[in-house]
Homo-oligomer: A and B are copies of this chain.
Amino acid sequence: MTDTRPPRADAVRNRRLLLAAAADEFAEHGLDASVADIARRAGVGKGTVFRHFATKDELIAAILIDRINELSAVGERLLDAGDPGEALCEFLTAAAQQRQERDLSFLAEASGSMREVAQARSRMTAALDRLVERAREHGAVRADITGTDVLLLMCAPNYVAGSVPDASPDLWRRYLAIIFDGLRPEGAHALPAEPPRFA
């Protein structure tokens, strides 16, 4: 009965423009980029924003889901890669690279609890879990770390490098390397706390 006609051409165009403009605006001004500025940047009225996304949080969620899905695709592709240790490292590099060109990590704090975001995230963590498992079996990472550990540590290099003004755009690689060395079996010391169940 729900005879859903396909959306109009200008509507799909505006939706795409809005997502892009919002991502730019959030990257520049953080979570409190205003909806009005986003609309202006997209060359569109403010009302149009709320036609496509019922609330500001829903817009944020849409951006977040897109990015998480990008990472899921990378992870799933790497599951067939040759060297499991190399594959894990590449995944972490891809994740950090995504955040380097546009840091939108703070978006999670606004809409991280939405159901659709959680779904996208669980698809990504599934891929990461398998990636870590393979690397562990292959002896590329220490035995006492879990996929969740890596998921959490994954965000650290950008976070660390992000607090340096005028930093080299490759600085995060330095901290990813240090942290990855900490994940290696060689010279590992016992860990003082249990790994977390969920993230």
Contacts and interface: CB of A to CB of B under 8 A. Distances in A.
Copies in the complex: 2
Residue with the greatest number of chain B CB neighbours at <10 A, chosen from A152, A180, A185 = A152
Contacts of A172: 193
A119 B51 CA distance: 49
A162 to B, nearest CB: 9
A191 interface: yes
Contact of A181 (B152, B168, B189): B189
Contact of A196 (B171, B189, B196): B171
Interface string A160-190: 1101110110111111011111111111111
Contact of A187 (B167, B173, B181): B181
A53 interface: no
A164 B180 contact: no
Contact of A170 (B175, B185, B186, B192): B192
A179 B153 CA distance: 9
Nearest to A148: B164
9 contacts: A156-B159, A163-B199, A165-B198, A168-B196, A170-B192, A174-B194, A178-B182, A179-B179, A181-B181
